[in-house]
Amino acid sequence: MTRLLLVFLFLFPAISHALDIEIVGGAAQQIPIAVVPFNQPPGVSPESVSTIVANDLRRSGFFRLLETRGVATQPHELSEVKYPEWSALQAQALTIGKVEPSSGGHVKVTFRLLDVLKQSQLAGMEFDVAPTQLRKTAHKIADIIYEKLTGEPGVFSTRITYVNKTGKHYSLVVADADGGSPQTVLSSTEPIISPAWSPDGTKLAYVSFEKKKPVIFVQSLTSGQRYVLANFKGNNSAPAWSPDGKRLAIVLTHGGNSRLSLINADGTGMQPLSSGSAIDTEPDWSPDGKWIYFTSDRGGSPQIYKISPLGGDAQRVTFEGSYNVSPHVSPDGKWLTYIRRDSGKFQVAVRELASGQSQVISDSTQDESPSFAPNSRMIIYATSVGNRGILSVTSADGRVKQRLSEMGDVREPSWGPAAN
């Protein structure tokens, strides 16, 4: 297996350092692609659009980025492309483009994706955007290339959330899927855990200990306004949005037992869902809304079960091993990712729901909180290196892994929904 070690550092004035990225592994079949550095005048943006595009494609594991510097012609226009030079490089696809000043302080970004063998254009687009939108535009271009060449939607324009602990300080952060443009949306001296995206990506539910006990809040990412979703006696935790965004499954501890409840997104209409004296926690809805997967120790050890949001009996889902927790269903409804403990190692597992076949896909030992990307092809999770929390992203088959790390202690990642 090829071993790539790449570190990119994006720096942003006035915001915290972005995550460093480190990639390990590679897909078996990688598409050789050349991304010619775009013609971008200096001063437009500190970031190179074509570099962001190339990094996105490389990180996905589906592409082999070819070195373009040795090629005689560096085209930016279709008329400048000499195809034989690129077939000599064994490129299957070629990306060219340019960034130019436009009216009203905007910039115009033009790009083309070309099929080298057929000598034809696969995609071409022009964007007229504010300079602050260049990163976003670059991710969009990478998404278009990814979809054209793999047949599946890309996730480079999506966002992630995570909690960063620095000393005794906790920050809830929202960032691009590559860790770029991190924005702190909440800062506290008390722990923050379990952030969960609303299905439309406009809100986060999370658990904050700022009232000296776990209380669930919902916060708008557009206005920054927030409200208490649940502050019942005891613990309020583990929020999970229903697919229609109208309700959440949460965990309350009436009388000491952690049980599943349902609550409207405005905090009204709380009703208990599960009962009994065991631990029930970590609910997660199937995308069709028919099931809520959750962790329970009702069978003597923590295992994953599913229950209808209408109530009724729970069905056990995992049987192998003595500790299976933190279930998350893939957006296409076909897979379940969770944490399995085996021989003292806590690792990310993926289970095909139809066949019940599962496999461990991580090689670390202290993994937590796995969740799928919106295209169901990648999983983000928290792990630990040298006793410091970092985030890791893996292809759903475990073949390609990248590490996102940052100063501090990073945990509780959650991958946001598809970008609009």
Partner 1 sequence: MKKMLGLLFIMSILAACSSKPVKEETKAAPVPPPVAQAQTPPPAPQTQTTPVEASKAEVNPLTDPNNILSHRNVYFDYDKYVVKPEFQSLVEAHSKYLMDHPSARITLQGNADERGSREYNLALGQKRAAAVKQAMNVLGVQDKQIETVSFGKEKPKALGHDEASWAENRRVDLVYPGEQ
Q: Provide the minimum distance between the beta carbon of 218 and partner 1 in the complex, in angstroms, as a whole number.
A: 11
Q: Provide the minimum distance between the beta carbon of 193 and partner 1 in the complex, in angstroms, as a whole number.
A: 5
Could you give the CA distance from residue 108 to residue 126 in angstroms, rounded to a whole number?
7
How many residues touch partner 1 under the rule CB under 8 A: the total is 60
**Binding test (CB under 8 A) with partner 1, winner from 7, 15, 78, 407:** 15
What are all long-range contacts of 175-178, with beta carbons under 8 Å and residues at least 24 apart?
A: 175/18, 175/19, 176/135, 176/139, 177/139, 177/373, 177/415, 178/19, 178/21, 178/52, 178/55, 178/56, 178/59, 178/139, 178/404
Residue 294 makes CB contacts below 8 A (sequence gap 6+) with 249, 260, 274, 280, 281, 282, 283, 284, 304, 305, 306, 307, 314, 327
Could you give the CA distance from residue 215 to residue 299 in angstroms, rounded to a whole number?
28
Of 339-368, which residues contact partner 1 (CB under 8 A)?
339, 341, 346, 366, 368
> Shortest CA distance to 381 belongs to which of 348, 350, 409, 334?
348
- The identity of residue 43, as a single letter, is G
Q: Provide the minimum distance between the beta carbon of 56 and partner 1 in the complex, in angstroms, as a whole number.
A: 21
Q: Provide the minimum distance between the beta carbon of 211 and partner 1 in the complex, in angstroms, as a whole number.
A: 5
129 binds partner 1 (CB under 8 A): no
Residue 374 makes CB contacts below 8 A (sequence gap 6+) with 153, 155, 158, 331, 415, 416, 417, 418
Cβ nearer to partner 1, comparing 114 with 173: 173
Residue 143 makes CB contacts below 8 A (sequence gap 6+) with 153, 154, 155, 156, 157
Cβ nearer to partner 1, comparing 62 with 294: 294
Could you give the C-alpha distances from 310 to 120, 198, 331, in angstroms and in order? 54, 21, 21
Cβ nearer to partner 1, comparing 97 with 239: 239
132 binds partner 1 (CB under 8 A): yes
Token pair 């970590």 is found at 282
| Interface characters, 236-275, with partner 1 (x: CB under 8 A) | -xx------------x-x-xxxx-----------------
319 binds partner 1 (CB under 8 A): no
14 binds partner 1 (CB under 8 A): yes
Region of 45-53, 203-211, 241-249, 353-361 interacting with partner 1 (CB under 8 A): 203-211
- Give the tokens for residue 199: 């299905």
- Give the tokens for residue 360: 């461990």
Cβ nearer to partner 1, comparing 159 with 247: 159
Of 143-202, which residues contact partner 1 (CB under 8 A)?
171, 183-191, 193-194
Q: Provide the minimum distance between the beta carbon of 170 and partner 1 in the complex, in angstroms, as a whole number.
A: 9
369 binds partner 1 (CB under 8 A): yes
| Helix axes of 49-60 and 134-150: crossing angle, nearest 10 degrees | 40
Q: Provide the minimum distance between the beta carbon of 210 and partner 1 in the complex, in angstroms, as a whole number.
A: 5
CA torsion angle 173 267 315 305 (round to 10): 20
Could you give the CA distance from residue 402 to residue 394 in angstroms, rounded to a whole number?
6
List the beta bridge partners of residue 284. Answer: 293
Cβ nearer to partner 1, comparing 98 with 345: 345
Q: Provide the minimum distance between the beta carbon of 282 and partner 1 in the complex, in angstroms, as a whole number.
A: 5
| Contact present, 364 and 388 (Cβ < 8 Å) | no
Region of 27-35, 46-54, 232-240, 312-320 interacting with partner 1 (CB under 8 A): 232-240
Q: Provide the minimum distance between the beta carbon of 212 and partner 1 in the complex, in angstroms, as a whole number.
A: 7
**Binding test (CB under 8 A) with partner 1, winner from 317, 412, 413, 419:** 412
Cβ nearer to partner 1, comparing 89 with 193: 193
| Residues that bind partner 1 in the complex, under the rule CB under 8 A | 14-15, 132, 171, 183-191, 193-194, 209-214, 219-228, 234-235, 237-238, 251, 253, 255-258, 279-282, 295, 301-302, 323, 325-326, 339, 341, 346, 366, 368-369, 387, 411-412
